């Protein structure tokens, strides 16, 4: 089950997707240690889901994450000094056709762009030099990105990059009240003022837009 769980994470597969992939892939079956006589059956998606919940409830996933982070740090794969903060939405089933006849109470709905989502949000801090994630926070989907940013910053970070969702980060109370966090250089996208009538079109406006675009591209490295 642990090997199946690892394959799912390494190849970004759904529960059903990794089950199908193991049946179809020779290398996956070898890694799983399964024979090719058909006697060993691949664990189904539901079994994997239950196994993953057991890992989370017993703190095993955090131990795995911390161990990998320590390994990368020990071998010089984390540069330190700078962090990229970002967040992503994870969908959850919206159906109430279950034993409790209701949606998961830990999930929530939120609107991004013109589309509604139901689920949770993963807030991640990644090493600006290598792109490796070093910190994760999980909240309901309707939690604002900027409210969790201070939890993703390391003690030795000197600069933090973020997209427009982190506007005003440096002015937040939890940042201002911390000696280390208040001294960091926050390179965060602005609210696109160059698209308003405030400024006349010209080379200066276009250059400002290019700078903001480049800051967004730093976050997309992850």
Give residue limits of the domains in the chain: 1-58, 59-219
Tell me, what's the pLDDT at 70? 93
Can you give the pLDDT at residue 109? 73
Per-residue pLDDT at 123: 93
pLDDT of residue 100: 61
Instruction: State if pTM tops 0.75.
Output: no
H/E stretch holding 30 reads helix 26-32
Tell me the CATH number of domain 59-219, given options 3.30.420, 3.40.50, 3.30.450, 1.10.443: 3.30.420
Q: How many Å is the maximal CA-CA distance in the chain? A: 72
Residue-wise pLDDT tens digits, 130-173: 889 999 998 988 889 999 999 999 999 999 998 888 988 999 99
Structure tokens that stand for 202 in this block: 């010209």
- Candidates 16, 22, 27; CA nearest to 4 is 22
The HSE-up count of residue 63 (CA atoms within 13 Å, CB side) is 6
Residues of the chain below pLDDT 70: 36-39, 92-108, 113, 191-208, 212-213, 215-222
């Amino acid at each position: 089950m642990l090997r199946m769980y690892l394959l799912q994470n390494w190849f970004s597969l759904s529960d059903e997707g990794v089950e199908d992939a193991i049946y179809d892939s020779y290398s996956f079956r070898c890694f799983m240690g399964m024979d090719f006589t058909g006697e060993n059956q691949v664990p189904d998606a539901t079994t994997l889901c239950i196994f993953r919940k057991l890992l989370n409830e017993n703190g095993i996933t955090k131990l795995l994450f911390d161990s990998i982070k320590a390994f990368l740090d020990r071998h010089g794969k984390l540069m330190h000094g700078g962090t990229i903060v970002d967040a992503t939405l994870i969908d959850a089933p919206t159906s109430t056709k279950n034993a409790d006849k209701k949606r998961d109470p830990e999930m929530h709905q939120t609107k991004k762009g013109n589309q509604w989502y139901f689920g949770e949000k993963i807030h991640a801090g990644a090493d600006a030099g290598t792109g490796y994630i070093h910190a994760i926070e999980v909240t309901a989907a309707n939690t604002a990105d900027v409210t969790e940013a201070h939890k993703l910053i390391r003690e030795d970070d000197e600069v933090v990059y973020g997209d427009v969702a982190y506007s005003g980060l440096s002015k937040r109370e939890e940042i201002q009240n911390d000696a280390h966090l208040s001294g960091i250089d926050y390179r965060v996208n602005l609210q696109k003022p160059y698209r308003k009538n405030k400024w006349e079109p010209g080379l200066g406006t276009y250059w400002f837009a290019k700078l903001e675009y480049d800051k967004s591209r730093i976050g997309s490295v992850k």
